[in-house]
Structure 1
Amino acid sequence: MDKKVGLIGAVAATVALTAALAACAPQANNPVTDEAAMNAVPAQDQFGVVVAEQWQGLYPNQYRTWLDNEANSPESGKDNYLETYPQLATMYKGYGFAKGYDEAASHSYTLRSIAETPRVNEKTLANCITCKTPQYTAMVQAEGDSAYAKPFGEVLALMTEPVSCYNCHGNDPTQLEVTNGFYLNSLGNSVATTPVESQVCGQCHNEYYFNPQTKATTNPYVGTEAMTAEAILAYYDGIGFMDWEHPDTGAPLLKAQHPEFETIYGGAGSRMAAAGFSCADCHMATETDEAGTKYASHYLVSPLESEAQQEKCAMCHDDIAAEVRQWQEGVTRREHEIAAQIELYIQQLAAAKDSLDAATLEQAQQIHRHAQFYWDYVMVENSEGAHNPEACHQNLDKAEELLAEGFALLA
């Protein structure tokens, strides 16, 4: 299995029967019920955030399992995607991701990872810290869009807490809260139709861009119907947005981020979404402590790395590991095949562009832009197709069809 799966992992597939769905449904996380304990809210830091360590007395099981995420460290054997997909040096040429693109570590290392990436420089703005720490989330809540345009280094130096309790709960662990206002606005009416357990994950695991005028972190859609690669591409085309111009082809390119939420819930949605499952159902196992208290583990792993989660899957699947492996192998194989085609197309377009008339060149560059985006949208999604294999193959189909059109145009 690709090592990328260790970060986000694969979800279980469709649950066909209502009875099975009920049996697989998550156990509610036991909240603190003692009134005195509930009123004993720990002190907030300078940003108004109660950091995770402050909650360990009231929520020892959740805090202990949250600390377990430290095992998924940058030193734990991460892929260098520039080596795994050697074509990326050509595809991302002229953009920061060509300088460094490693498999992500867990939430415990979000601040360290953003501080150490070679993609930042003296021109980088604080908007790159979005979703790296709850303290920046609180800063944006307090200061509004102006916080996005601050200098990256200046703001990062103030941050001390990686992704933790506040990101998903605010300062009330008995509740779930989408603390990123930009994402809550982008959900639109879908707030009422998607599980809040998935919304709090989706507020960071999504496709976004930085508004060219305000520098604000922004989603290219409103509502789940518009959360498809095709609709997002149309949105970017409509506003003339690009992340960078490819130095060889001149194409105005886009860099997809990590559209986990869109892949699961966008458009027609995945089979898991249709069956009523949330991200937490698959990635946060229900466990029981020595006193017999059930709680939601905050150790975020692939369900294939959790015996408890696999027991849920086994109620509907004879061999969920084999199913997931088949999905991932199929998607990954096509990712490599199409990456080679994109690199070849870039080379041919670069060689031919000076001899093409303006209209043909524009069409060829548009094909480069679109085909690479459809491919990138699948490759960066972090489940290797397991979250929604049908949608992933459809996007790869579109990339292949565009490339075929482009090669014919250049012939």
Structure 2
Amino acid sequence: MTLTPYYVDLHIHIGRDWNGRPVKITGSPSLTLTNIFKEASRRKGLDMIGVIDAQSPAVQDELESLISAGEAAELDDGGVQFEDTVLILGSEIEVYDYSCQGPIHLLCYFPYLSDMRNFSEWLSKKMKNVSLSSQRFYGTARELQQYVKDHGGLFIPAHMFTPFKSLYGKGVKRTLKEVLDPEKIDAVELGLSADTKMADQIGELSSFTYLTNSDAHSLGKLAREYQLIELQERTFEELRLSLQGAKGRRVTTNFGMSPKMGKYHQTVCAHCLIPSEETDERCGSCGSTKIVKGVSERIQELKGATQERERPPYVYQVPLISLPGVGKRTYEKLLESFGSEMRVIHDVPENQLQNVVPDKVTQAILDLRLGSLNIDAGGGGRYGKVR
């Protein structure tokens, strides 16, 4: 049996459907299903993607049109192939049931288009507008889990540490068991403000595979976080095995932004963005009471007894175009010369890079590969930045 490493990003939004109507209201108008396929396959070099607004009927219609035209094809073991990329159909759902301290976002994936259409029909009885992204589900989190597991899906808590609309940010006081059945969780998504080392301080997460996904709201944000996964072939069922760590399939590397780059890494005043040590007092600088607790502080509140587990390496990265010296023109020159962002970041030899871009850009790319960039921390809704 031969396993192949694939680059995978499982959290990508739809900005507009093929009729021009909003799906993710805060998403870019250019973020359509067809454009995502083209960007992932032709420019980013992603082998597998998860679109998490596939419960929208218009998105399903666009996908069905691509399949009917022969531009895409459903795979026997789940997933849809378009050129060099396989799509996994997903949906991000907001739940705020009686068990939750606040709203949480949950990711639900299914193998086939027919499964997602059935899910949409079920959701339409428990949701005000199934066509829009991340809508409120009028039921319990465990009820949603049960449907997903009964219908052969995958269930993954999204960006689980962010201060708003996440499992540990607002959803629970201490343990995920307050809201979810841990036996019906297939993996957990770290989010942009946490990494493996931070999450491993929470003992109840020791059994779960960690995912690092982009949560992209524009085409350029695809693969700002992703993972390398070893599979025999790119299908839904192979993905399921990798999340279980079964039959040799596994996540081998997480590539993600340094937690310092995340919008909510440190506790800051939301008004003036000055770091704060307190979460329940006025800002010492401007007097505002709008203090946003950082992910790093929240994890310190939750940490407890842990179990040793060997984890894949977590490599700190940023999108290629975020590197100092890589503007739009240089970015396009790199893609024109070498084919895709994944190839530039991981594979192109140093001497070939030097033939195309200045030495300082070549060095920045080499630093990116090593995860050795210097980062200024973000917080309170503001991203960190590369120095």
TM-score (normalizing by structure 2):
0.30
The answer to which structure has the higher strand fraction is 2
The answer to which structure has the higher helix fraction is 1
Instruction: Point out which structure has higher relative CO (alpha carbons under 8 A, 6+ apart).
Output: 1
TM-score (normalizing by structure 1):
0.29
Larger-Rg structure: 1
